Homo-oligomer: A and B are copies of this chain.
Amino acid sequence: MRPEHVLTMEDWGREEIHELLDKAQDFANHPSKLPSQRIYAANLFFEPSTRTKISFEAAERNLGLDLLHFEADTSSVKKGETLYDTVKTLESIGADVVVIRHGKERYFDELRNHINIPIINGGDGCGHHPTQSFLDLLTIKQEFGMFDGINVVIAGDIFHSRVARSNLEVLERLGANVFVSGPKEWMSEELMERYVPMDEAVEFADVMMMLRIQHERHAVKMVAGPQKYHEQYGLNEEKAQRMKPTSIIMHPAPINRNVEIADALVECGRSRIFKQMKNGVFVRMAVLSHVLENQQGGLLR
């Protein structure tokens, strides 16, 4: 028997059409007939990502959520559809939560009051990236049990990274002493009040948070090329040896090896870089279950 394809409307008779519509209406009326009550997450990533995207996906799958696979490159965004209409569409189709990464800072301002499902910010340009902050916080809390009195040095291009500044703010709010380091050319007057040279920083820091040189975001004029940067402002083996025995190294990744940090340090005993990635899954599970419980009561299985 040939399969019955569904190709054109001409193939469908009047009665068959009504039968199909009744079937569809039946699905519309009794969603409980579905084999299981699924919860759908849609991850809308308009910028490249490995860690954030896949770790949201792992968090969603770990919680038993199902995914609707949105791909910006093959979506109607290509036909000029707005972000708002895209998110509204996903809401209409059945997404219960959306995760969005978008190059436009505060893209969410036009969405937050009109979208009726939770939006989780997976990064807005140089703006916010709350789940990255949460995973940094979890990694520090795991290590020291608290934030009070912990010396955190954030090293790199803090000025252009609101994520870094948001991290700085929240760490201080939680009780940590936060310092900054890196090329002075990249600091504001306000940041200079907490400035310490790398040579000193490594000796008293409990946490060295190295930032990524974001070549792709803004044309940072390298003070003197990657090698010179590494020597002056990066973390090399000599400097790492002068760190306190209990101190740790963090980096959000992707890493420019031998620029911000020496290749040999990425997986050294002090490094929590891959631990941060593991923690990324756990904080995203916490964030997802937080918003879904808030919104939908017993929805989570």
Q: A62-B38, A93-B278, A254-B80 are in contact. Are A5 and B291 (CB under 8 A)?
A: yes
At the interface, yes or no: A8 with Cβ under 8 Å from chain B? yes
A74-B49 in contact (CB<8A): yes
B64 x A49 contact (CB < 8 A): no
How far is A275 from B92 in the complex, measured between Cα atoms in Å?
A: 7
Q: Are A277 and B89 in contact (CB under 8 A)?
A: yes
Q: In the assembly, what is the distance between CA of A275 and CA of B25, in Å?
A: 13
Cβ-based interface call for A218 (8 A): no
Q: Contact size class for A?
A: 35 or more
The oligomer's copy count stands at 3
Chain A stretch 80-130: residues in CB contact (< 8 A) with chain B: 80-82, 85-86, 88-94, 108, 112-113, 115-121, 127-128, 130
Q: Is A176 among interface residues, defined by CB-CB distance under 8 A?
A: no
> A17 contacts which chain B residues (CB < 8 A)?
134, 137, 170, 174
Given A169-B9, A215-B80, A36:B64 Cβ within 8 A: yes
A-B contact pairs, 19 of them (CB 8 A): A3-B115, A4-B290, A5-B291, A7-B128, A9-B128, A9-B130, A9-B166, A20-B283, A20-B287, A24-B285, A27-B286, A51-B76, A72-B74, A76-B254, A79-B216, A80-B215, A81-B255, A85-B254, A94-B278
Alpha-carbon gap, A61 to B57, bound state (A):
16
Once the chains bind, are B94 and A74 in contact (CB under 8 Å)?
Answer: no
CB pair B58–A301 under 8 Å, yes or no, is no
B68 touches A7 (CB 8 A): no
Q: Report the minimal beta-carbon distance from A135 to chain B, rounded to whole angstroms.
A: 8
Shortest CB distance A76–B (Å): 4
A278 contacts across to B, CB distance below 8 A: 28, 92-94
Q: Within the assembled complex, what's the spacing in Å between the Cα atoms of A79 and B212? A: 11
Complex Cα–Cα for A138 and B118 (A): 29
**Which 3 A/B pairs are nearest by Cβ-Cβ distance?**
A92-B277, A81-B254, A24-B286
Q: How far is the CA of A141 from the CA of B17 in the complex (A)?
A: 11
**A78 to B48, Cβ gap below 8 A?**
yes
Q: List residues of chain B with CB within 8 A of the CB of A282.
A: 24-25, 27-28
Is A238's CB within 8 Å of the partner chain B? no
A14 close to chain B: CB less than 8 A: yes
The reply to whether the CB of A219 lies closer than 8 angstroms to some CB of chain B is no
